[in-house]
Amino acid sequence: MIMAVVALVYFGIVAAIGVWATRRTRSASDFFVAGQGLGFVTLAIAAMAATLSGFAFIGGPGLVYSLGLGAVFIVLPAALTNSMGAWVLAKRLRLLAEVREMITIPDAIGARFQSPAAQGLSAAAIILAVISYMATNLLALGLVVQATFQIGLAPAIWIGTLIVLAYSVSGGILAGIYNDVFQGVLMAVASTLVFFFALGSAGGMSGISHTILAHDPAILGPWGKLSPLAALSFFFVFGLGTLGQPHVAHKFFMLRDARKLKWYPLVMTLALTLTLLLFVGVGVAMKALVLQGKVPPLTTPDDATPTFLLHFTPLPLAAIVFAAVAAAIMSTVNSFMSIGAAAFTHDLPVAFGRRVDDELRWGRIWTAVLTLISAAVAQLSGSLVAFLGIFGWGLFASTLVPALAIGLNWKGATRAGAVASIATGLLITLGLETLAYFRIFTFPSGVTATAIALVTSLLVFFGVSWFTRETAAATLAPDVRAVMDA
Cα–Cα distances in angstroms (integers) from residue 356 to residues 36, 109, 115, in the given order: 21, 20, 19
205 or 6: whose pLDDT is higher? 205
Statement: residue 413 has pLDDT above 90: yes
More confident residue, 151 or 113: 113
Question: How many folded domains does the chain comprise?
Answer: 1
pLDDT at 33: 46
Average pLDDT over residues 278-299: 91
CATH of the domain at 417: 1.20.1730.10
SS3 274: helix
User: Is pLDDT at 88 greater than 60 in this prediction?
Assistant: yes
Greater confidence (29 vs 437) lies with 437
pLDDT in tens, 22-31: 665 554 554 5
Q: Is the pLDDT of residue 122 over 90?
A: yes
The pLDDT of 481-486, averaged and rounded, is 87
Q: Residue 439's pLDDT is what?
A: 78
pLDDT surpassing 50 at residue 34: no
The amino acid present at 59, given as its one-letter code, is G
pLDDT per residue as tens digits for the range 172-190: 555 567 777 777 788 888 8
In which domain, by residue range, is 112 found? 2-485
pLDDT at 460: 97
Burial of 296 (0-12, 13-18, 19+ CB in 10 A): exposed
* Mean pLDDT for the chain overall: 83
Q: CA separation (Å) from 26 to 32, 257, 429?
A: 11, 22, 38
pLDDT of 219 reads 92
**CA nearest to 337, candidates 460, 183, 166, 154:** 166
Give the residue ranges of DSSP H helices in 277-381.
277-291, 304-312, 315-342, 348-351, 359-378
Cα distance between residue 484 and residue 486, in whole Å: 6
324 or 339, which is more confident: 339
Alpha carbon 162 to chain centroid, angstroms = 20
Over residues 108-116, the mean pLDDT reads 93
pTM: 0.84
Classify residue 257 as exposed, middle or buried by CB count within 10 Å of its CB (0-12, 13-18, 19+): exposed
For 206-241, how does the pLDDT look when each residue is reduced to its tens digit (9 = 90+)? 889 999 999 999 999 989 998 888 888 888 888 888
Cβ atoms 278, 61 nearer than 8 A: yes
179 versus 107: the higher-pLDDT residue is: 107
The yes-or-no verdict on residue 161 having pLDDT over 70 is: yes
- For 199-210, write each residue's pLDDT tens digit: 888 888 888 999
Average pLDDT over residues 120-142: 87
User: How far is C-alpha 451 from the geometric centre of its chain's CA atoms?
Assistant: 17
Who's near 268: CB < 8 A, 6+ residues apart?
A: 44, 47, 48, 82, 85
**Would you tell me how many other CB atoms lie within 10 Å of the CB of residue 444?**
8
Q: Which candidate, 152, 59, 134, 163, places its Cα nearest to that of 378?
A: 134
Confidence of residue 382 (pLDDT cuts 50, 70, 90): low
User: How far is residue 190's CA from residue 279's CA, in Å, rounded to a whole number?
Assistant: 12
> How much of the chain, in percent, has pLDDT values that exceed 70?
89
Instruction: List residues bridging with 38 in a β-sheet.
Output: 255
What distances in angstroms separate CA 92 from CA 142, 255, 280, 473, one per listed residue?
A: 38, 12, 34, 19
Greater model confidence, 251 or 288: 288
pLDDT of residue 123: 93
Name every residue whose Cβ is closer than 8 Å to that of residue 381 and which is 6 or more positions away in sequence. 139, 153
Please compute the mean of the pLDDT values over residues 399-410 and round it to a whole number: 94
Q: How many angstroms separate the CA atoms of 171 and 24, rounded?
A: 8
DSSP, residue by residue, 196-222: HHHHHHTTHHHHHHHHHHHH-GGGGST
